[in-house]
Amino acid sequence: MQEKRLQLLEEHGVGKTTITKILMRLYPITKGKVTIDGYDLNELSIKSIRNNITYISQDSYIFKDTVRKNIVLEKNDISDKQILDVMEQIGAIPLLERLDNGLDEVVDVNRLSKGELQVIAFIRAIVHKANIYIFDEPTSNIDLRTEKMIQRIIDKISKNSTVIIIAHRLSTIKNANRIAVINEGELVELGNHDELMSIPSGQYKALYEMQFKKEEAAV
């Protein structure tokens, strides 16, 4: 199956998170029309949308219970083997080994880093499976090691599902099939990394080169 990954790139506060909440039917559509695979979003039931679309924000919901319970939720037919297989594939076993009780460890949000909590939420997303995943700033405010782990998770998910990523950090963008650059609520550029980099005065090209120079200077 061909990977399908769309990246939304824009400045803070101009609507990209609103777009994702419209897709989840958290906000009403007051103007225009939104379709998924040709189906009018307003004609799809909320239950159908929630069963097929998984949304993960930069502040993923983790509750005070075991790691296992945070992953399986109410779906008790998910086995420990399934969880461990996913953790092995994405390189998250060291996180589990650091916990005294493994999957039975009660999550302490004060002990785990934001990135580690995010990884637990991503593992939950993988084992529950969905046709469409929406990641809102998945690598915001996390360390480089965890960012690479999350990138592996996104790579794994995108092999069998459509992935929509909202981000300001451009490290996850190059692999996207399509990158949408939004400015003041308007779509100004659309294409893959190479196509957008070929636009002489393009906004994506300018942002990418500026961030690349900052990363070089930090080394």
Q: What is the pTM of this model?
A: 0.78
Q: Considering its fold, how many domains does the chain have in total? A: 1
- 165-175 mean pLDDT: 74
- Give the pLDDT band of residue 1 (cuts 50, 70, 90): very low
Q: Domain of 71: which CATH number?
A: 3.40.50.300
Task: Report d(CA 57, CA 121) in Å as an integer.
Answer: 9
26-30, 127-131, 203-207: the lowest-pLDDT one: 26-30
For the cut 90, the answer to whether the pLDDT of residue 70 exceeds it is yes
What percentage of residues in the chain have a pLDDT greater than 70?
Answer: 87
Instruction: Order the strands of the 178-183 sheet from edge to edge.
Output: 53-56, 132-136, 162-166, 4-10, 178-183, 186-191
- Give the pLDDT band of residue 69 (cuts 50, 70, 90): very high
Task: Report d(CA 37, CA 55) in Å as an integer.
Answer: 18
The average confidence (pLDDT) of the chain is 83
| Domain, as residue range, for 131 | 4-218
Is 176 in contact with 145 (CB distance < 8 Å)? no
pLDDT for res 136 = 82
- 183-200 mean pLDDT: 88
Q: Report the phi/psi class of residue 186: left, alpha or beta, with left for phi > 0 and alpha for psi in -120 to 50.
A: beta
Phi and psi for 14 in degrees, rounded to 5? -120, 20
Task: Report d(CA 116, CA 90) in Å as an integer.
Answer: 13
* CA 115 vs CA 55, 95, 118, 130: distances in Å: 17, 11, 5, 22
For the cut 60, the answer to whether the pLDDT of residue 11 exceeds it is no
